[in-house]
């Protein structure tokens, strides 16, 4: 773990040395909070349901932007060999970059702090539901970051990594929307592809359960095991394709 922590520190230092990270954080916070406030004034309820409704789509776009450079940049500048020759296993390097991305995810979600404070000042919202919502968002984000890291490892082009990870992330989110499930089921009723994707693949039902306060074991396993499998695949690919 010492190697992973060192890599994570290196990555975070490099990330915050650039103004891009601050722009991404500010952009995410402003967009998410603005969309929530619009719905909040319309609905007038002391809850973050509107925030958690829009959050999956934002994560599916913003998180690939964070993850796209993690390995593509290393491969492009041929520094990946140097990193992987350090006294650490490949999986430690992958884990270190992933931990840095998780820290950035936590910062993005922390931009909702003013909304949480506002709700508690105005009344008594359900704290358990709020905690469940953020836990579900973090789990979903962790999976999307692991996916983005794998896409970054597969190419030297950051733009390609971003586009592929975004498309896959949006697929995981949109297949959890009722209207998408209805369309897919309607196209082939016997296959019920929409229902299958909703129940077995989509990330959205798991987030919604946690946001509703239902902390289920299968949702936790979906995020943890899915992320672990993607990290393992990233490490295996890098081991087999050193430049």
Closest CA to 137 of 47, 237, 199, 209: 209
pLDDT bin (cut points 50, 70, 90) of residue 174 is: very high
Structural domain of residue 158, as residue ranges? 2-240
Range 95-108 average pLDDT: 95
**Average model confidence (pLDDT) for the chain?**
87
Q: What φ, ψ does residue 34 adopt, rounded to 5°?
A: -65, -45
Closest CA to 83 of 25, 11, 174, 150: 11
pLDDT bin (cut points 50, 70, 90) of residue 60 is: very high
Count how many domains the chain has: 1
pLDDT of amino acid 110:
95
Q: With 80 as the cut, is the pLDDT of residue 77 above it?
A: no
How far separated are the first and last CA of the chain, in Å rounded? 25
pLDDT bin (cut points 50, 70, 90) of residue 192 is: confident
- Rounded Cα distance, 125 and 199, in Å: 30
pLDDT tens-place string over residues 193-234: 888 898 889 999 888 888 777 777 888 899 999 999 999 999
Q: With 70 as the cut, is the pLDDT of residue 112 above it?
A: yes
pLDDT of amino acid 78:
73
pLDDT tens-place string over residues 29-49: 999 888 888 777 666 666 788
- Rounded Cα distance, 222 and 216, in Å: 10
Percent above pLDDT 70 for the chain:
92
Q: With 60 as the cut, is the pLDDT of residue 243 above it?
A: no
């Amino acid at each position: 773990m010492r190697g992973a922590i060192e890599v994570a520190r290196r990555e975070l230092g490099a990330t915050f040395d650039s103004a891009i990270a601050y722009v991404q954080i500010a952009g995410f916070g402003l967009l998410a909070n603005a969309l929530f406030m619009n719905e909040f004034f319309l609905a007038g309820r002391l809850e973050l349901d509107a925030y958690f409704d829009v959050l999956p789509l934002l994560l599916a776009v913003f998180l690939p932007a964070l993850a796209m450079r993690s390995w593509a940049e290393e491969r492009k500048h041929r520094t990946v060999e140097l990193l992987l020759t350090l006294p650490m296993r490949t999986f430690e390097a992958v884990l270190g970059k992933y931990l840095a991305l998780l820290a950035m995810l936590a910062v993005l979600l922390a931009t909702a702090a003013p909304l949480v404070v506002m709700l508690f000042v105005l009344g008594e919202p359900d704290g358990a539901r709020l905690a469940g919502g953020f836990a579900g968002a973090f789990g979903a984000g962790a999976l999307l970051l692991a996916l983005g890291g794998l896409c970054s490892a597969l190419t030297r082009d950051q733009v390609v990594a971003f586009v592929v990870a975004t498309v896959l992330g949006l697929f995981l989110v949109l297949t959890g929307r009722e209207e998408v499930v209805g369309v897919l089921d309607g196209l082939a009723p016997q296959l019920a592809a929409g229902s299958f994707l909703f129940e077995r693949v989509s990330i959205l039902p798991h987030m919604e359960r946690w946001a509703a306060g239902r902390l289920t074991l299968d949702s936790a396993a979906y995020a943890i095991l899915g992320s672990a499998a993607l990290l393992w695949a990233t490490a295996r690919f890098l081991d087999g394709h050193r430049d």
